Amino acid sequence: MQTTIFDRLRNGEIISSADKDAYKMREASFATKKLLLQMNNSSDPAEIINFLSQITASEIDKSVTVFTPLYINYGKNTKIGKNVFINFDCVFLDLGGITIEDNVLIAPKVSLLSEGHPTSIEDRHSLIPKPILIKKNAWIGANATILPGVTIGENSVVAAGAVVSKDVPDNTIVGGIPAKILKTI
């Protein structure tokens, strides 16, 4: 069985901009954008969940609340648990994978970025995918940014405006740029 570029991304493979299948990422993003336009113009919570289910190619539970607009570049690598709240103006870059477990709160303008680029000039247009995991009962504060490969621990809080580049232990509050442990709860 042949693996797709999306399988390769999920497996953590760095994808060169010269990859023969790289164009498929853009095609998939444009298809997602069509659904996002419809979802982001809806005020009906059930319709929003229906569009989000199509975008993620998974069943989104009716207990999930999304205040649009929400921006996702691919969608099919995003998994959302039950009783999740996603506030206005969030950005999910999910080619590397994003998992949001049950009872997570995501404040306005949060960015979950599961993909990045090498710093070397020659390879900068390559894509480095690393999954993000947000565990149960976590709260991500307004305008926080979660970088590729980060796990946010169960019951943890990410302060508003934080940039999280390293894993956050369970039951911990982090804040700052880069985010540091402020206290345990």
**Structural domains in the chain, sorted by start:** 5-184 (2.160.10.10)
Catalytic residue among 33, 109, 117, 130: 117
On whether the CB atoms of residues 56 and 86 are closer than 8 A, the answer is no
Query: Annotated catalytic, 117?
Result: yes
Q: What pLDDT tens digit does each residue of the chain (185 aa) get?
A: 668 999 999 899 999 989 999 999 999 999 999 999 999 999 999 999 999 999 999 999 999 999 999 999 999 999 999 999 999 999 999 999 999 999 999 999 999 999 999 999 999 999 999 999 999 999 999 999 999 999 999 999 999 999 999 999 999 999 999 999 999 99
On whether the CB atoms of residues 69 and 110 are closer than 8 A, the answer is no
Extended strands (E) in the chain: 65-66, 70-72, 78-80, 85-86, 90-93, 98-100, 105-106, 111-113, 115-116, 128-129, 132-134, 139-140, 145-146, 151-152, 157-158, 163-164, 172-175, 180-184
Q: What is the pLDDT of residue 1?
A: 64
On whether the CB atoms of residues 126 and 15 are closer than 8 A, the answer is yes
Record the pTM: 0.96
Residue 175 structure tokens: 């804040």
